[in-house]
Amino acid sequence: MEYDQSIKQGYRPPLPTGFTKAIRTNPIWQFFRFLVINFKILRMVRKH
């Protein structure tokens, strides 16, 4: 089964913006998110 050529040529995944790239590579932001996620996990574990 062949795919329609217009579908192949028209599909492109979205590219991250400059802001998104900066956030993803910022170690301070990553450390903050790490703390937030760990806090959420601790809250969940303490309830059980």
In a domain, 10, yes or no: no
Q: If we measure between CA atoms, which residue out of 13, 16, 36, 35 comes closest to residue 24? A: 16
| Ordered per-residue pLDDT tens for the chain, 48 residues | 565 665 666 677 889 999 999 999 999 999 999 999 999 999 999 887
Residues 6+ apart with CB under 8 A from 29: 23
In a domain, 7, yes or no: no
| Stated pTM of the model | 0.59
Residue numbers of the domain that contains 28: 16-47
In a domain, 27, yes or no: yes
Q: Contact 29/23 with Cβ under 8 angstroms?
A: yes
In a domain, 11, yes or no: no
In a domain, 35, yes or no: yes
In a domain, 29, yes or no: yes
